Structure 1
Amino acid sequence: MDVVAGMVNVVAYYRVSTKGQGESGLGIEAQRTYVQMAAKQQGWNVVAEYTDTVSGTIAPVERPERPECRKALSHGLPIVAAKIDRISRSVLHIAQLMEKVDFKIATMPMADRFQLHLYAALAEQERQFISQRTKDALGALQERADSGCAVSKEKVNRRSDNLVLARKAKQEKAAQNASSPKGQGHQAKLAPYVMAALYKGVSTLQALADALNAQALLTSRGGEWSPTTVRRLMLALDVTFKKA
């Protein structure tokens, strides 16, 4: 990492929600522009860039680029994101990240921790509004379909078919990952740690996740453990918690 005299070294973080956006650069270039403009104005030197193609609902600590990003953060460098929703729209996620690292937002570079909490709350509220508007629109579409509207029926059926296909593709991908030599090898390495934790009396998914994280053990995607990823691991290893 090169050090530029008189400048503060930072790590840039970009996030897009879909693979198509990630491959096309749609959204990434705009985020990079925001960061570069703020860096020039604030005297920041961007020494590394990391990009995730994941949903904003996934906690930052569980994202694929987290381990690589953590290497840079071990030097005490702050993260810079274009907008706060690129990190997360969840107040909880933002608060958790604040406890681990320092981060800045390019579109409001002077914001302090209190202000970032407020903006995170607004971003979370926006997500809730979007979700509710989507539910209302789908409800209205279903009502029109139920009343006999042929166009609405076709849209409802097409959406239903797409959901089934997407769910099937997701299940197939998860099965492939679990059954792949790499996935099985990773699970085998973790098995002794899981069994040791169960032997010591760990009896909840969160407690087992905490035990694995405490030993700096990562998921197959390189993220930290959560109750969801622990449950998948236990199913793959065919183990259960001891009955009280």
Structure 2
Amino acid sequence: MKVVAYIRVSTKGQGDSGLGLDAQQDYITRAAQQNGWEIVGTFVDVASGKLAIEDRPEGAKAIALCKEQDAQLVVAKLDRLSRSVHHIARLMEQTEFKVATMPQAKTFELHLFAALAQQEREFISGRTREALAALQSRADAGDAVAVQKVKNRSDALAKGRAVADITAANNIRMTNIANAQEALRPHLESCLYNKVNTLQSVADCLNAKGLRTARGSEWAPTAVRRLMIALNVSF
């Protein structure tokens, strides 16, 4: 069975789901090996889960390739597709999909899992709002403990805004990295055209051209692997 790998890192940071780029890739690669899937393409988005996959740049390309290759979409975890049942239901109308951590689950079963997860999030959100309203009411009445808790929460929100600023800077950095990787595409393809067929030989070829990684280091097999995944290029 052909599959198209889709990896998403949230704008909140790679730790959002406990899965960064490499971890998601490893989950998908392992599931493909264990289930006999042929990965015909890999797409990576840096985007919020609030957006439907077809509204994300690389997500739209992944769906298009699924249709072109008659392939199924595969993600490491269900929330890498979306946290919205509506979005997942809409995706079901466009393509079938698999989850690497639940490779035997059918699309309809995954839809049910998403519905249960959304219901739980909404329940927790409602209880949190009620608890915060009760806390504010006690603080307004002069409860010293409640007043301190409200202050602590306010301080935490201020810290969160600072983190959001850092996240925005990280997003710019990720965009710059993507642009730098794209600029390396012709050099990478030139190396592959010369029939190099190992990660080390590609690294040697790029180093011989005087090229460096985004961090200014010489190329190593691991860095080449990441570049090839990012550019959806293979031997």
TM-score of the pair, normalised by structure 1 = 0.54
Cα offset, 1:159, TM superposition: 4.9
In the alignment, is the contact (CA less than 8 A) between 1:14 and 1:81 conserved in 2? yes
Where do 1:39-188 residues align within 5 Å? 39-73=32-66, 74-139=68-133, 141-143=135-137, 145-146=139-140, 147-149=143-145, 150-159=147-156, 161=158
Q: CA deviation at 1:32?
A: 2.3
Query: Cα 1:131–1:53, aligned 2, differ >3 Å: closer, same or farther?
Result: farther
Change (3 A) 1:151 1:15: same
- Distance in 2, Cα, partners of 1:112 & 1:161: 43
Can you list the C-alpha shifts for 1:111-164, whole angstroms capped at 9, x where unaligned?
A: 22331221121222232234235434534553454333453242243356568x
Say whether 1:27 aligns with 2:23. Answer: no
Partners of 1:84 and 1:25 in 2: CA distance? 10
* TM-aligned CA distance change 1:160 to 1:116, over 3 Å: closer
Output the amino acid matched with 1:78. Q
Post-superposition, which runs of at least 4 consecutive aligned residues in structure 1 deviate over 4 A? 159-163
- Unaligned 5+ runs, structure 2: 166-235
Separation in structure 1 between the aligned mates of residue 117 and residue 17 of structure 2, nearest angstrom: 23
**C-alpha separation between the residues in 2 aligned to 1:25 and 1:156?**
23
- For the aligned residues, what is the CA RMSD? 3.3
What's the secondary structure of 2:69's corresponding residue?
A: coil
Paired residue total: 161
Match of 2:197 in 1: none
TM-fit CA distance, 1:71: 4.1
Counterparts of 1:78 and 1:94 in 2: how far apart (Å)? 14
Distance 1:144 1:86, change over 3 A: farther
- The percentage of aligned residue pairs carrying the same residue is 47
**Maintained 8 Å contact 1:13/1:80:** yes
What letter is aligned with 2:6?
Y
Kindly state the Cα deviation for residue 50 of structure 1 after the two structures are TM-superposed: 1.8
